[in-house]
Amino acid sequence: LESERRLTPPLIECVPNFSEGRDLARVDAIEQAIREVPGVLILHRTSDSDHNRSVITFAGRADAVVEAAVRATARAAELIDLNRHEGVHPRLGVLDVLPFVPLAGATLENCIELARRAGQRIWNELRIPVYFYQAAALRPDRTHLEDVRRGQFEGIREAVFANPEKRPDLGGPALHPTAGAVIVGARKFLIAYNINLRTTDVSIAKSIARKIRASSGGLPAVKALGLPLASRGLVQVSMNLTDFEQTPIHVVFSEVSRLAAEYGVEVEESELIGLMPRKALEMAAAGLLKLSNWDSQKVIENRLEALLGG
């Protein structure tokens, strides 16, 4: 029955970033520590040798995901010494960043609570100090990961003594001598989503990207670039949607379609890079079909899960 337990919502995704991307035997060992937790599934893994960094994406029920995150941190601390780590990507810890992400049946608030639990265990059991970032931040100046990590391992391990502002949220003030510190957080699912347009004029994609991106006053929680897809004779508006509940995928699709039409250009297709949460797809369908009184409990399987779950 163990395998069936795992299916019950709420489900949580966890996306730890490790400071090892060259010695893949070590990455295997960290992955194995995650795999050993019943009820956890590895969804994706990627390593970059220039960054000397790996990302393992896994998911499962809350308790199992927290357990796997702590075990992964312990294994990384056994295997990696930050004093010997080189790579072009900044890092503060052997397990550098540990975000918890809500999937079906879970909320961002659930993930903040899980971040706290994982952080507390990492300090209590492993004596590795913890910083909380993004939705789990305890201080507004720690919302952005880049701000927390500025100075990285070599700079911050000195700064914590001179500057109380730089000290960890849990533990410290000294960083762990070989493992550094873990930056634990909660955030929404990030959807990588592209829309391809039936034109070869990349200036149109760039102009649309500029109009829709949040940083230039466009749609909230949308990052966008215009790119050529020369081999296909198309151009692409390439996007990251950092909060699909605030700006749903169909709002992005409709807005890009509308702006393209102003240039007399049609949408050829859209594409998803990687995975998307079920809720994002449901919101898109309900939005584009103009379904009145939409409620995800109108999906029969969701209703079954709600009646049976919990």
Binding site for a second copy (CB under 8 A): 1, 3-8, 11, 13, 41, 43, 59-60, 103-104, 189, 196, 249-250, 253, 267-272, 274-278, 281-282, 284-286, 288-293, 298-305, 307-309
| Radius of gyration, CA atoms only, the chain | 21
**Buried residues in 62-71 as b, exposed as e (16+ CB within 10 A):** bebbbbbbbb
CB contact set of 29 (below 8 Å; sequence gap of 6+) = 75, 79
Please state, in angstroms and rounded to a whole number, the distance separating the CA atoms of residues 29 and 218: 44
User: Which residue in 229, 285, 245 sits closest to 101, CA to CA?
Assistant: 245
CB of 43 to a second copy, least distance (A): 7
Q: Compare residues 50 and 271 and give the one whose CB is closer to a second copy.
A: 271
Q: How is residue 309 annotated by DSSP?
A: -
| Residue 44 appears among annotated catalytic residues | no
Indicate the residue among 20 and 282 with the shorter CB distance to a second copy: 282
Q: Which of 178, 183, 143, 141 is nearest to 163 (CA)?
A: 141
Closest CB to a second copy among 12 and 82? 12
Minimum gap (Å) between residue 88 Cβ and a second copy: 30
Rounded least distance, CB 177 to a second copy, Å = 37
Considering the complex, what minimum distance in angstroms separates the CB of residue 121 from a second copy? 24
Cα–Cα distance for residue pair 51/86, rounded to 1 Å: 8
**Cβ proximity to a second copy, 82 vs 276, nearer residue:** 276
For residues 102 and 108, is the Cβ–Cβ distance under 8 A? Answer: yes
Spell out the residues 6+ positions from residue 69 whose beta carbon is closer than 8 angstroms to its own: 14, 16, 98, 100, 118
Q: Which two tokens stand for residue 287?
A: 């939005």
Tell me how far, at minimum, the Cβ of 26 lies from a second copy, in Å.
25
Nearest to a second copy of 41, 214 (CB atom): 41
State the catalytic residue, choosing from 44, 89, 144, 250: 89
The catalytic residue positions are: 89
